[in-house]
């Protein structure tokens, strides 16, 4: 992957990206890796930040814009975010329109520094389409560990090109992390396969688990579409309630970054038909857990999700996950 030529950010370039950017810190300079070997990388989501931290190691300071419980579909960049982007040496984002409301901001930042979508190398034939969004693939590719591993390779290659003096180190870090992801993927497939075939139905607040379902042979249904900008109507709720009752689905799942209101409506609707549905647990969809926790890492996030889903749907999985590090899998 070629970063292309990076021109110094002159006063003219600052003015060309809009008056707001022209008055922000960092305008008028082009930052190179510092003498002590550290430089600044800005990321959009926690999942992207986790890759970058693993691959960059101590060579870079990584600043992430969206933390625990933040919905990237609805996130609007602040003035502080814009300043962070203009002070960055590199920017990594997820892509596939996940950060839809940041598109203009990312394009503005691209005029003065490398701005890279980690999903750029994923084969377009792999991506899931969605009936609600013409020509816009489902962006939730991190739900398939094997697919997200491709993003690790993008980060490794980008950092190696940006800082060639330490290229071997970045590629070694990427290789080590990919080995961990292989083990995680094997665990996810094993515990989901333990769910009885008739109970392999995953119903969540929004349609973020399509890649997870395809990779692990689960039927997945989201009350809202692939973006939480869409609203579920009464017909959508009634249709889902009928499915729950007809197929005797006993558990549905809430998400840490999405309102529970539609899930609660499903439970009440099914109850009015004499069918009891419980909340199987809270899943991490568009954001990871709290910073500094195991669930605040990509591996911990996926471990939590797979363990919670498997146990709630009648499968077999250790309560504290495949590494014994989960705080309370399946609880809500």
User: 149-173: per-residue pLDDT in tens?
Assistant: 999 999 999 999 999 999 999 999 9
Pick from 258, 320, 260: nearest CA to 295: 320
Q: What is the pLDDT of residue 206?
A: 72
Pick from 50, 84, 76, 54: nearest CA to 291: 50
Three-state SS at 126:
coil
Q: Given a cut of 80, is residue 133 above it in pLDDT? A: no
Whole-number Å distance between alpha carbons of 174 and 159: 10
Q: Which residues lie below 8 Å from residue 160, measured CB to CB, with a gap of 6+?
A: 166, 167, 170, 171
Q: Given a cut of 50, is residue 30 above it in pLDDT? A: no
Q: What is the pLDDT of residue 36?
A: 53
Q: What is the 3-state secondary structure (H, E, C) of 79-93?
A: HHHHHHHHCCCEEEE
Q: Indicate the domain borders of the chain.
A: 11-186, 195-312
Q: Is 169 in contact with 242 (CB distance < 8 Å)?
A: no
Q: What is the pLDDT of residue 226?
A: 46
Q: Given a cut of 60, is residue 72 above it in pLDDT? A: yes
What does the mean pLDDT of the chain come to?
85
Q: Is 91 in contact with 133 (CB distance < 8 Å)?
A: no
pLDDT band at 9 (very low <50, low <70, confident <90, very high): very low
Tokens at residue 310, please? 């498997």
Whole-number Å distance between alpha carbons of 31 and 3: 15
Q: Which residues lie below 8 Å from residue 59, measured CB to CB, with a gap of 6+?
A: 37, 38, 39, 159, 163, 166, 169, 170
Sequence length of the chain is 332
Place of tokens 């209101």: 261
Taking the domain 195-312, which CATH number applies?
A: 3.40.50.1980
Q: What is the pLDDT of residue 328?
A: 61
Whole-number Å distance between alpha carbons of 186 and 146: 10
pLDDT band at 55 (very low <50, low <70, confident <90, very high): very high
Tokens at residue 100, please? 């839809």
Q: What is the pLDDT of residue 103?
A: 87
Q: Given a cut of 90, is residue 3 above it in pLDDT? A: no
Burial string for 95-107 (b: 16+ CB within 10 Å, else e) reads bbbbbeebeebbe
Whole-number Å distance between alpha carbons of 62 and 153: 18
Mean pLDDT of 203-224: 89
Whole-number Å distance between alpha carbons of 6 and 179: 33
Q: What is the pTM of this model?
A: 0.84
Place of tokens 């292989």: 182
Mean pLDDT of 143-154: 97
- Burial class from Cβ neighbours inside 10 Å (0-12, 13-18, 19+) for residue 307 reads buried
User: 218-272: per-residue pLDDT in tens?
Assistant: 999 887 654 444 555 677 788 889 999 999 998 999 888 677 888 888 899 999 9
Q: What is the pLDDT of residue 110?
A: 92
Place of tokens 């249904």: 221
Mean pLDDT of 199-227: 86
Taking the domain 11-186, which CATH number applies?
A: 3.40.50.1980
Pick from 33, 21, 25, 83: nearest CA to 61: 33
Q: What is the pLDDT of residue 11?
A: 29
DSSP 3-state helix, strand, coil percentages of the chain (rounded to 5)?
45, 15, 40
Do domains 11-186 and 195-312 share one topology? The answer is yes
Whole-number Å distance between alpha carbons of 142 and 21: 31
Tokens at residue 138, please? 């489902």
- Burial class from Cβ neighbours inside 10 Å (0-12, 13-18, 19+) for residue 323 reads middle
pLDDT band at 4 (very low <50, low <70, confident <90, very high): very low
């Amino acid at each position: 992957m070629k970063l292309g030529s990076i021109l110094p950010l002159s006063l003219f370039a600052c003015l060309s990206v809009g008056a707001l950017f022209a008055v922000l810190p960092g305008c008028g300079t082009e930052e190179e890796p510092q003498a002590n070997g550290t430089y600044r990388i800005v990321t959009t989501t926690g999942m992207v930040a986790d890759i970058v931290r693993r691959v960059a190691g101590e060579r870079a300071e990584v600043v992430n814009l969206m933390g625990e419980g933040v919905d990237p579909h609805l996130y609007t960049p602040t003035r502080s975010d814009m300043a962070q982007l203009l002070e960055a040496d590199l920017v990594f984002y997820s892509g596939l329109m996940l950060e839809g409301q940041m598109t203009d901001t990312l394009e503005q930042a691209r005029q003065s520094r490398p701005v890279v979508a980690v999903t750029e190398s994923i084969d377009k034939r792999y991506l899931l389409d969605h009936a609600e969004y013409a020509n816009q693939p489902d962006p939730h590719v991190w739900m398939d560990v094997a697919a997200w591993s491709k993003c690790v390779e993008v980060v490794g290659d980008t950092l190696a090109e940006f800082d060639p003096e330490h290229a071997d180190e970045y590629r070694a870090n990427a290789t080590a992390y990919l080995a961990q992801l292989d083990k995680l993927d094997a665990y996810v497939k094993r515990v989901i396969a333990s769910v009885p075939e008739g109970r392999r139905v995953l119903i969540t607040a929004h349609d973020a688990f399509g890649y997870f379902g395809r990779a692990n042979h689960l039927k997945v249904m989201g009350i809202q579409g692939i973006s939480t900008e869409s609203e579920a109507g009464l017909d959508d709720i009634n249709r889902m309630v009928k499915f729950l009752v007809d197929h005797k689905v006993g558990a549905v799942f809430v998400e840490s970054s999405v309102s529970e209101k539609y899930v609660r409506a499903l439970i009440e609707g099914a109850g009015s038909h004499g069918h009891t549905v419980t909340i199987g647990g809270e899943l991490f969809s568009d954001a990871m857990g709290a910073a500094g926790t195991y669930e605040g890492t990509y591996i911990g996030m996926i471990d939590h999700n797979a363990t919670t889903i498997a146990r709630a749907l009648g499968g077999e999985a250790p309560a504290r996950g495949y590494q014994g590090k989960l705080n309370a899998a399946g609880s809500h």
